Chain A
Amino acid sequence: MDISFSREPDKTFVVRLGGRWSIADGLPSTEELQRQIASDPSPERVAFDGRELGHWDSSLLTFLIKLTNFCSEKSIHVSNQGLPEGVARLIDLASAVPEKKDARKESGRAPFLSRVGEATLEAVKSAGEMLAFIGEAFLAFMKLLRGKARFRRSDLTLLIQECGAQALPIVSLISVLVGLILAFVGAAQLKMFGAQIYVADLVGIGMAREMGAMMTAIVMAGRTGAAFAAQLGTMEVNEETDALITLGISPMEFLVLPRMLALVFMLPLLCLYADLMGILGGGIIGVGLLNISPAQYYHETVAALNLTQFVAGLIKAGVFGVLVALSGCLRGMQCGRSASAVGEAATSAVVTAIVSIIVSDAILTVIYNRIGV
C-alpha cells in the first residue's frame, strides 16, 4: 500500500497509488491526505495516478470513496481518469444509486413510559388474539361434531401415533423417577412415626390425582407442543398456510383440529400409564428400601385409591391436553416469516403451555376441594 502525493503547478493535487492493496492488511487511513488537501494552497482538482498499482481489492475502493466524499464536501473536483478502468467503473457503480436517506431507520431507545405503553398494548393485543384463536378452535370443534370439519383422517392417526405411542419411553422414564422421588421424600418423614407403609398411599394418591397428569403434560408441552409450533410456523414461512386458505380450507380445521384431538385423546391415556409407572417407581423404593413386602405394598395402594381419584387426574390431563395443543398451535399460527420467528414460536409455545398447565392445575385443585372430590 504505497501512497504519495504531489502538487502540480496547475493547482492539481496528484495522489500516487502503488503496491498491493488487500483487506487482509487492513484499511489505510485517509486523514494525512485529507489534511494535506485541506491545507494551503488549496487545490482545485484532485487526480490519481494508479500506474504502479498491483493487486487491489475493496480496501482501495473504500479509500478512494472516502477521499472523494471528503473532496466533494470541500467542492474540489475529483478526476478518476488516472485509475485502472475497473476501479473507476466500480466507483461509478457504487455511487450510481444515491443513498436512500429516508430508508434509514430511527435507532436509539424509546423512553421508559413509551416502552411500558407499547408492551401493555402488545399484551392486550395478544390476549385478544388468544381469545379469537380459542373461539375459532371452538367453532372448528363444533363443525367436527356436526361432521363437517375438513381434515385428513390419516393426518389424525399419524398425529395420534406421534403424541401417543412414540411418547411412551420418555413418559415412562419421567414418571418412574417422579414415583421414586415421592417415595423417598415421603419415607423420610413417615419413618419417624414408623408409618412407612403409608408411602404406598402417598405415592398412589399423589400420582393419580396430581403428578401423573402434570408431569405427562409438561413432557408433552416440551416434546409435542414445541413440535406443533415449529411445524405450523414453518408452514406459515413457506406460505403453505396461505395455500390452504386460498383453497377455501380453514387451517383451523385442517391443521389445528387434528392436533388438538390427538393430544386431547392421548394425554389422558398417557396419564393413566404414567400413574401406573409412578406407582411402580414408588414400589421399588417401598420394597427395596423400606422392607415392605410387594403384596403389602400392592394391597395398601389398592385400598388407598378409588376411581374418583383416577378420574380427577384424567380430567386434569384432558384439560392440559387442550392447553398444550392450543398454545402450540396458537404460537405456530402467529409465527412471523423468518427462521428466528420459528424458534421464538417454539419457545413461546412451551412457556405458554407450562404456565397455563400450572395455573389451570391450581384452579382445578381448588374446584375439586370445594366440591369435595
Chain B
Amino acid sequence: MENHANKTKARIEVRDLTMAYGSFVIQRDLSFTVNSGDIFIVMGGSGCGKSTLLRHLVGLKAPAKGKVFYDNVSFWDSESAGKEALMRRFGILYQSGALWSSMTLAENVALPLGEYTRLSPSQIKELVSLKLALVGLAGFGEFYPSEISGGMRKRAGLARAMALDPDILFFDEPSAGLDPISARRLDELILELRDSLGATVVVVTHELASIFAIGNNSVFLDAETRTMTAVGDPNKLLAESNDPKIRSFLTRGEQ
C-alpha cells in the first residue's frame, strides 16, 4: 500500500519473453511494459497462454528465453533472497481462490502475516478482520472455504492476496464463474484498491465487460501465431485497431 504522493515506482518490464513447455512454444518474443498504477489486462482466446504468462510474471515458471524486470531488476537473474523479497511484494488471486482448505478464512489471511511480520496474534487478528471487511466478508473469519460460495471464496482469496499490503496485484480470471453483478462489484473493488492503494494491477481475463471497464493498458496474445499482436489501451484498440483478430475478439465476433 503506497501513498500517491511518494509512491515507489512498481514497473514491470517484459523483454523478448519466450514461454515454452519443453520444446512446445506457447508464446514467443513478448515485450511490453506495465507502468505503476496501471490496470494492465492480459487478453486473448482460450489456450493462448494468458495464465502461463502470469505464472512467468509471478515467478512460478522460468522463461525459456527473455527477461522479466521489476523496477529494472531482472527477476530471474536475482539471487533466491532477492526473488523472495520481490515475491513478497506480489499479491496473487488465483483462478479458483486457491484458499487452503484445511484452514478457516481468518487463518488463510493470517498465515502470510504470521510468516513475514513480527506482529502479535491480537494485532494479526485486527489486520485480518480489516482485510476481510475490505472485501465485504466481515464476520466470516471462522468459516472454512468449503462452507462459502464461489464468489465469496474469490473475495476471500483477494483478502489473502492483500494480506501483506502488496504493491503489485495479479488476478487470474477474477470474474470467471461469477454472476454479472458480483463480477462488476469485483471490478469496482479492483479499481477502488488501485486508486486508494496506488497498487499496480495485472489482470488475466477474457471478460469483455471487465476489459473495457477497468483496463487502461493491455496486451493481446494470439493463439495461432503464438505471439502478441497488440499492446495498448483496450478502448483505443477497439476504436483504432485494424487487425481482424483483435476486432473480432473485442466485439465478440460481430465485426
A339 touches B142 (CB 8 A): no
A58: contacting residue among B1, B3, B118, B145, CB under 8 A: B1
B118 nearest CB neighbor, chain A only: A26
**Is B119's CB within 8 Å of the partner chain A?**
yes
B123: contacting residue among A27, A340, A341, CB under 8 A: A27
B142 touches A58 (CB 8 A): no
Q: Which of chain A's residues have a CB closer than 8 A to the CB of B130?
A: 58, 61-62, 65, 94
A86 touches B126 (CB 8 A): no
- Interface residue total, chain B, C-beta cutoff 8 A: 39
Question: Interface readout for A27-64 with B: 1 if CB under 8 Å, 0 if not?
Answer: 10000000000000000000000000111111101100
**Is A288's CB within 8 Å of the partner chain B?**
no
B146 nearest CB neighbor, chain A only: A338
Q: Which of chain B's residues have a CB closer than 8 A to the CB of A90?
A: 134, 192, 196-197
B145: contacting residue among A55, A87, A338, CB under 8 A: A338
A107 to chain B, nearest CB (A): 7
A119 to chain B, nearest CB (A): 21
Q: Which of chain B's residues have a CB closer than 8 A to the CB of A62?
A: 123, 126-127, 130
A86 touches B4 (CB 8 A): yes
Q: Which of chain B's residues have a CB closer than 8 A to the CB of A148?
A: none
B131 touches A58 (CB 8 A): yes
Q: Which of chain A's residues have a CB closer than 8 A to the CB of B102?
A: 338-340
Question: Interface readout for B176-209 with A: 1 if CB under 8 Å, 0 if not?
Answer: 0000000000000100100111100000000000
B195: contacting residue among A66, A89, A95, CB under 8 A: A89
**Is B29's CB within 8 Å of the partner chain A?**
no
Question: Interface readout for A85-101 with B: 1 if CB under 8 Å, 0 if not?
Answer: 11101100111111111
B196: contacting residue among A87, A98, A104, A340, CB under 8 A: A87
With A62-B130, A98-B138: A86-B143 Cβ-Cβ less than 8 Å: no
Question: Interface readout for A121-138 with B: 1 if CB under 8 Å, 0 if not?
Answer: 000000000000000000
Given contacts A84-B3, A94-B130, 17 further A-B contacts (CB under 8 A): A23-B113, A23-B164, A27-B119, A56-B3, A66-B126, A90-B197, A93-B134, A93-B196, A94-B138, A95-B133, A97-B133, A98-B138, A99-B133, A104-B139, A105-B143, A340-B102, A341-B101
